Chains A and B, each alone.
Chain A
Amino acid sequence: MLWIALHLPLLSLESFAATLPPELRQMPLALVEARQIAQANASAQALGVKPGCKRATALGLAPRLVTAPADPLRDAQALQAVLHACLAFTPAVTVLPPSQALLEVQASLRYFGSLEPLLQRLGSALAPLGHAMQFASAPTAQGAALLSRMANVPAGLHCPDLRSLQTVLAAAPVELLGAGREHWEDLQGMGLRTIADLRRLPRAGLARRFGEALQGEIDRAFGERPDPRTWVSLTPTFEDRLELFASADTSEQVLHGAAVLLARLVAWLSAQHAFVRRFTLQLQHEARWRRSDTPPDTAIEIVLAAPSRDAAHLALLLRERLGRTQLVAPALELRLRADDIARAPPPNGELFPSALGEREGLTRLVERLQARLGRCQVQRLLRVHDHRPERSSALHEVDAGASPLLFGRPEAKRPGIDRHAQGTPITRPVWLIEPPQPLPDRRDQPLLDGMPLQLLSGPERIEAGWWDEGLAGRDYFIAKAPDDSLVWVYRLRLADLAPQARGWYLHGCFA
């Protein structure tokens, strides 16, 4: 067995910092527990704020200190995301509260090559969650957990076999032991500094004085007692919430909070090698000033054309949608929910640009344009079989995901396209004027801008639509405008049917 242990020494501070707007994240921060500072970040410690000092003292030292109560639930949510990210590497992941994750990776080693590339991949998978981390690997779970607390080096502590683990652990200080923490001063007073000192004592006496837990922890760390664990399992749907420290007034602030949730969503997705199809961001608003009614929650649903697991892409779509959404009130809490996922093989990485990459890029481009402009503003022009020019083309909104055929079909030859391109005259104008523009006439000759049009070709009679409302009876002519451009005009035929709508009309320009 080979275990990797992750220790997140600053988990509580980081989970608190995630709820802050970005400009506050670099400020002196501290967590308060029972009116005492429990944890302080680097810039607070530089001002002299130390864990253990009173809150009032800390505020005297650093007046701009941002303090908040420690919240075990918030920490557990952040740790949950780390566990999800770990599940992408091995199904055997277990949690050691409050801030440790253990992975059994013996079976995954062959797939990843060896421990080193695995650790590298693990590090980059956890990077978006933004936690400071300490790594260790050892043949026993408890041993790895102890080592990770000890290892304050970026490369981590790695003991490949039990013998080296036992040597390292024997020299480790007793304060590493979680179960011995409450007895730590007693142990110091008894002159017991290392774990080796503890192990030299008689077992029965040690257990009687400090409890069975301490003895058990040491035994499991040294591999002398079986160590069964329960594995972390995935929830079928993703649901997470983030209570913002300061209410978000602008969509930019909402986005910063949402980015934290999106990173967790991506971790959850990568745990099951899935891609999200749709997700919902729900904003809970604060009550309006002197009004009893709280505005209803705003729900922003993002539907993706192609399932994705790319946090940057998801954030981009959310940004475009939030840019269009008006916030009725400042947001206090964000909730992200996703249950529509697609399981698919991971996309192939490609070195050179290819048709597949281009199609994917186009799908994303269409998605982005639709997110900002609205779905119905990105359209395809379809030919309709109708003689009336105004009904012979139709614009349909593009469904980028459902019609992958749209892009990149070199072989798709449509009947009628190439045949028309071979020298037959062009009979329809590209630009249609909707609705047709009535033209004045003089001596039965239509005028455009006060100048007579020269009719060059025609008439071409279009008479259709007796079966629906759009009855048309027109004689079309191609005419030359005074500036030599060609226009398409018609004269109404059925003047008796619509006496008020007789005369000449401009219906198109040949471009």
Chain B
Amino acid sequence: MACMPLVTSPPHFPVTAPRPAAGVLLPGRLDAEALHPALWRGHQFGRCAEPALASGFPVLDAQLPGGGWPHRVLTELLLPHPGVGEMRLLAPSLAATLRSGRLVMLFDPPATLSAWALAQLGLDAEQMLVVDGRSKVLPEASSLWALEQALRSGHVGAVLAWLPPRLRAERLRRLQLAAQAHDGPAFMLREMAARQLPTAAPLRLELQPAGADRLALHLLKRRGPPLAAPLRLALPPVLSAAARAKVAQLASVPTAQPLCAAAFVDLS
């Protein structure tokens, strides 16, 4: 095949319609998009037939293939620890799911949930189900079984699951297969160490706090070109304007040195 210059168009969004003149096989150039809906070029976003659920953050939506959280696949979120702003990131999409009358299920939340805090995020906690599979004899098997059942049933609107640490890759692949029946986003929250391991989920994000009420999002994997710089999102604020000013003022002052561990020597 003759070497033809690739069209260097920026990734357009939403990529629903094929590019102009696609659908016709140009002489000498194979049009990948015209061949199969699952094919895309490296500089484009993957197309998905399923509608995606808007995340509520336009900056993020612009970078997600399909323009939001994808349906029928797993979305992996890697967190250093619970409490970096993950619920504030997901709250707008979960609230939209609840408003459309569908169920949100939480599996194995890592700490006690506060119903009033969820209400402040716009989530009606009473319409959500919390499933805890960890108290059983085989906690991992029970949790994953319950999660798989929920995904496979296809009746749940959105799923949030805190996966057990050091999960084997084939378990995740099994969940990914089950998620194909799940018409909604499925968020798998995992520990940061999983970053080094391959994943079956087509979308993987890393969440890091970046200042008070800010979140840095690294898109580690998506159906599309890699994104070098992390996205910085302004989360719904916890702090008042005065407190934010205090943070800015503190940031200009050199921060206190961490405590050095004292060395005790037994002199006796």
State the A residues within 8 Å of B (CB).
Answer: 355, 358, 361-362, 364-366, 368-369, 372-374, 377-384, 389-390, 392-395, 398, 406-410, 412, 414, 416-418, 420-421, 423-434, 442, 447, 450-452, 454, 456-457, 478, 480, 482-487, 508-511
Contacts and interface: CB of A to CB of B under 8 A. Distances in A.
A125 B211 CA distance: 66
Given A373-B142, A425-B237, A365 B88 contact: no
Contact of A369 (B125, B146, B250, B261): B146
B29 interface: no
A484 B114 contact: no
Interface in B144-197: 145-146, 149-150, 153-156
A431 B113 contact: yes
A393 B146 contact: no
Interface residues of B, number: 71
A428 B236 CA distance: 13
Contact of B155 (A361, A414, A418, A442): A361
Interface stretch (B10-18, B31-39, B63-71, B238-246): B238-246
Contact of A381 (B115, B150, B246): B115
Contacts, number: 218
A424 B218 CA distance: 28
Contact of A457 (B112, B131, B243, B250): B243
B210 interface: yes
Given A456-B243, A511-B87, A451 B114 contact: no
A417 B124 contact: yes
Given A362-B156, A429-B117, A393 B125 contact: yes
A362 B103 contact: yes
Contact of B250 (A362, A382, A394, A454): A454
B111 A434 contact: yes
Which A-B residue pairs are the 4 nearest by beta carbons? Answer: A509-B83, A421-B122, A410-B101, A361-B155
Given A393-B115, A426-B237, A432-B111, 9 more contacts: A365-B153, A383-B125, A394-B115, A408-B102, A426-B236, A457-B242, A485-B84, A487-B83, A511-B83
A410 B100 contact: yes
A153 B153 CA distance: 41
A430 B142 CA distance: 25
Contacts of B124: 412, 414, 417
B88 A410 contact: no
Nearest to B99: A410
B227 interface: no
A425 B132 contact: no
B130 interface: yes
B209 A379 contact: no
Contacts of A364: 153
Contact of B80 (A412, A429, A478, A483): A483
A372 B146 contact: yes
B85 A510 contact: yes
